Amino acid sequence: MKFPSPVSLQWIATLINAELLGNSNAEATGINEIHKVQKGDLVFVDHPKYYTTCLNSAASFIIINNKDVVVPDGKTLLYTTEPFEAYLKIVNHFRPFNPSKQMISDSAVIGESTVIMPNTFIGNHVSIGNNCVIHPNVVIHDHSVIGNNVIIQSGTIIGSDAFYYNGKKDRDVMYKRMQSCGNVVIEDNVEIGANCTIDRGVTSETRIGKGTIIDNLVQLGHEVVIGKNCLLASQVGIAGATTLEDGVIIWGQVGITKTITLGAGAVVMAQSGVTNTIKGNKVYMGTPAIEAGDKRREYVWVKRIPELWKKVMES
């Protein structure tokens, strides 16, 4: 999430009751989680396992619960005993929960010749382009951006909160939701089927590229990026921060894990499980998904096991 304008670190330190270590005169331009940080961003870390990753990331400013670490050149640390609570305080200040009181918010911008059918909810600061068709019972949450010529079928939810939690075993509530302050961006000429759920980014955006077609009952996690002209069949589930490059085809009931990349033109056959980054312009199948030719040969050998075992026992 970008701040409306650069914010003094001294002001932020006062807001979250933190001690500044390093350049105290700098200004932050936004707050992001580790997968999406950019120069000028704040990020938080509260577990030693991730200290090195955060300290070496692109983030300029790090909220941390250890002031004995070495401050990297060009960075500033904000020391506090509860970095996660500090994150929540910053997000709640800059993007507080603002309940809607009507089906279509007065702050929503809807383009020319766009059709909004009955029982559709459109939240605060939503932007919808021209010549779109939004079918009944669609929910479009705050700050979502939808391009031109987009079709969204009934029952789909755009911009629901990310499935992203901060877990601590030493507190009464083990899992606390990491409040989402990102959004969803849907580019031109996208079609989305019925009863899909597309989560907004935790701090950045979930994006669906131009010309992509999505079938019914598809789940996209936070900060998933779908390239141009992709095709996703029914019951596909994609976990957070995964990227599908242009022209990827995913057939029905495929599960895809988090923070990986599917190369341009890759095809994944039905009921496969993609657990690692895969190269483009190849066909994959199975769990874990491997190249389809290799998987078919594997199936042939598996079928021969009884025959081979019999020969072994008879020898």
Q: Is there a catalytic annotation at residue 222?
A: yes
Average pLDDT over residues 64-90: 94
User: Is the entire prediction scored with pTM above 0.85?
Assistant: yes
CB-side exposure of 16: number of CA atoms within 13 Å?
Answer: 31
pLDDT of 186 > 80? The answer is: yes
Its CATH class, for the domain covering 2-94, is: alpha beta
Domain 109-295 adopts which CATH fold? UDP N-Acetylglucosamine Acyltransferase; domain 1 (2.160.10)
Q: Where in the chain is CATH 2.160.10.10? A: 109-295
**One-letter amino acid identity for 287?**
T
DSSP class of residue 85 equals H
Let me know the angle formed at the C-alpha of 221 by 123 and 33, rounded to the nearest 5 degrees: 90
**Average pLDDT for the chain:** 95
Average pLDDT over residues 234-245: 98
- Residues 105-119 have pLDDT tens digits of 999 999 999 999 999
Of 135, 141, 143, 222, which one is the catalytic site residue? 222
